[in-house]
Structure 1
Amino acid sequence: MTTDPAPAPSAPGDRPAPRRAPAGAAVLRQDVTEAIRAAVFEELAAVGFARMSIEGIARRAGVGKTAVYRRWKSKLALVLDLITAVAAEGMPVPDTGSLHGDVRAVLEVAAHALRHPLASQVVPDLLVEAARHPEIADTVRAVLLDGRRGVAARIVRAAVERGELPADADPDRVLDLVLGPLYWRLVVVRTSAPAGYLDDLARSAVAALTA
């Protein structure tokens, strides 16, 4: 079994040492935590949430099961924590100076993420599990909708200020027209995007939004 060793004590005369953890408490190494998180992504892609196990995660991460259970009480808690961490990273808000440029930039970032083999396998599986687990549904919504909605709102606000969109433009419509077709093609249908596809999609989305 792999354990997380405690850090070396501070040398005498140094600045006051931080308060020690209670005797016997586990000291959680960040490198072990990151290895486990990476293993979860790989396990989700390989076997899906339903068949994923703490044993499989530990084996793939090269740690003992105890190292996993020290951090998360169950695989559901582990996956929810992982999704929350991804949501916290968020999608960058483009500031290109035009609605077309902003839409094209969002498409580029989203396409890069959706083309990743782990994302293309993990996201659909989590959407299936969301129907069975309300906790997963709420957290997946934060990743796939709430964060993107904030980006869309800022794009719309900037476009309204430039006079490219009317004041009552709906950020949700931006998401539908911009990310909906991309997600359908790359994740649902699973076909590659030909050269110029993102440019064509950006033009079509902007034309629909400004119609």
Structure 2
Amino acid sequence: AVLFDELELPDLGSLQADIAHVVLQFAALLERPETKTALMAVVAESTRDVPLRERIRTSIVDRQKRLVLDGRRRAQERGELSADPDPVTVDALDDLIFDVVAGAVVHRALVSAEPVDAVWVARLSALLVGGLGGAAALG
């Protein structure tokens, strides 16, 4: 959990740049041997250990969702995203955004063993910001 607390979301002026920055930080963190080893072991054990799974949720996942909340708030302040008046929808969307980013990066870095490089990150952030049409435009 302490390792993941190193992730920061500076305001780089656009939602796409903010996403790309935090994804590259996350990928760099996953490249560290101590992170990779610990994460793989804890995730494997959590499939059989419900209290451990809950501890992962509270000490890593819920704490890191702050990045999504901060990013969405900043994008709304810049006029890139409209404010959603329904808090239930916002909470569900924040959960989905976190799951998509974390899942994509973990899968790419640890499961597929493919690089999380600037090109891949640009495509992922375009997909998140612009939907399928935005990612297709990058080729």
TM over 0.5: yes
- Taking the aligned partners of 2:36 and 2:71, their CA distance within structure 1 comes to 26
Of the three residues 54, 68, 72, the one matched with 1:156 is 72
Change (3 A) 1:100 1:209: farther
Deviations along 1:142-162, one digit per CA (max 9) or x if unpaired, are: 344112211101110111122
What is the root-mean-square deviation in Å for CA atoms of aligned residues?
2.6
The answer as to 2:98 corresponding to 1:187 is no
Structure 1 pair 197/184, CA: closer, same or farther in 2 (3 Å)?
same
Q: Of residues 101, 105, 110 in structure 1, which corresponds to 2:26?
A: 110
Contact 1:174 1:209 in 2 (8 A): no
Q: Which structure ranks higher in relative contact order (CA pairs < 8 Å, sequence separation ≥ 6)?
A: 2
Please tell me the residue identity of whatever aligns with 2:124: L
1:33-112 to 2 correspondence within 5 Å? 83=1, 85-86=2-3, 89-112=5-28
**DSSP 3-state at the match of 1:196:** helix
Q: Does 1:174 pair with 2:97?
A: yes
Maintained 8 Å contact 2:19/2:125? yes
Q: Which runs of 5+ in 1 are unaligned?
A: 1-82
Amino acid at match of 1:197: W
Q: 2:119 aligns with which of 196, 200, 210?
A: 196
8 A contact 1:111–1:182 mirrored in 2: yes
Alignment CA distance shift 1:137-1:176 (3 Å): closer
Moved over 4 A (4+): none
% identical equivalent positions: 26
CA contact (8 A) 1:164 1:210 kept: no
Task: Count matched residues.
Answer: 127
1:140 aligns with 2:63: no
The separation in 2 between residues aligned to 1:190 and 1:147, in whole angstroms, is 26
Q: Which runs of 5+ in 2 are unaligned?
A: 85-89, 135-139
**Looking at CA atoms only, which structure, 1 or 2, has the larger radius of gyration?**
1
TM, length-normalised to structure 1: 0.52
The verdict on how the C-alpha distance between 1:90 and 1:138 changes in structure 2, with shifts beyond 3 A counting, is farther
CA distances 1:36-92 after superposition (whole Å, capped 9, x unpaired): xxxxxxxxxxxxxxxxxxxxxxxxxxxxxxxxxxxxxxxxxxxxxxx4x446x3521
Verify the 8 A CA contact 1:152 1:174 in the aligned structure 2. yes
Q: Secondary structure at the match of 1:93?
A: coil
CA deviations over 1:178-210 (Å, ceiling 9, x no partner): 332111111222223355222222222211299
Range with greater deviation from structure 2 (201-210 or 94-103): 201-210
Query: Aligned to 2:47, which of 98, 121, 131?
Result: 131
Higher helix share: 2
What TM-score does the superposition give when structure 2 sets the normalisation length? 0.75
